Structure 1
Amino acid sequence: MSKIAINTSQNVNINFNIASIGDRILAFFIDMIIKAAYLIALFVILYKVLNVDNVLKGWDDWTVMAFFGIITLPVHLYTLVCESLMEGQTFGKKIMKIRVVKIDGYQASFGDYFIRWIFRIVDIFSCGGIVGLITVI
């Protein structure tokens, strides 16, 4: 396993293990399963229990898109919220025992997590995550 040496302000070197590509990908897929489970449960409740399709028929397209955008907001914000509240971990990262830290070894701030989240959106929507995968390798 690769290591990175961090020199602290007291001039002490601390070695950290770098998460492997396999651990990162597995954590990502665990998070995807959690998001998918939320969406499946949400749509089962909306369509099977609440019969929301009858209500949606009377709405215009923009209202329907806004409705689905709002109810799926937890999926879109999952990574940002989890990493911010769980000290650099999502549930997938927690299971794989990895976390996000800054290059100097300190805990990342909300701004750092926000920038990661924005670039993840850009990466996934622009090229399907290929750039991120190449960067990790």
Structure 2
Amino acid sequence: MTDRSEAVIPRVLFVCVHNAGRSQMAAAFLEHLGGDRVEVRSAGSAPADEVNPAVVEAMGEVGIDITAGTPKLLTPDAVRASDVVVTMGCGDACPFFPGKRYLDWELPDPAGRGVEAVRPIRDRIKRHVEDLLRELVP
């Protein structure tokens, strides 16, 4: 049996432009579903001042509180420190480092949309996160 302290914990970085919607939801779902089996970060190439209120409300509806979340600036160090980088519309702003696994999830941007429009985006993100978690932590 492997000692938990020696186990390799996958490190995942979620990136979108403003780090106020999609990447916040993805990170929250992975933290919620993966617990201590994964290390999770999120960032944006041009971070907003706050997490989108409709996103906060939509996540609250599924029992995940992200009210304390704050958008963070994407840095090369954050990418370097990650095993998997999941982009969601950040385009060429995301730095590329050899040896990292990159995934691009095409999802609508929830910016400027109400909670009704955010719910289906949230649900798609949850399905993507569940699939990723099954791959990373069999």
Alignment TM class, shorter chain as reference: under 0.3
Q: TM-score, normalised by structure 2?
A: 0.27
From the CA coordinates, give the structure whose radius of gyration is larger: 1
RCO higher in structure (CA 8 A, sep ≥6): 2
Q: TM-score, normalised by structure 1?
A: 0.27
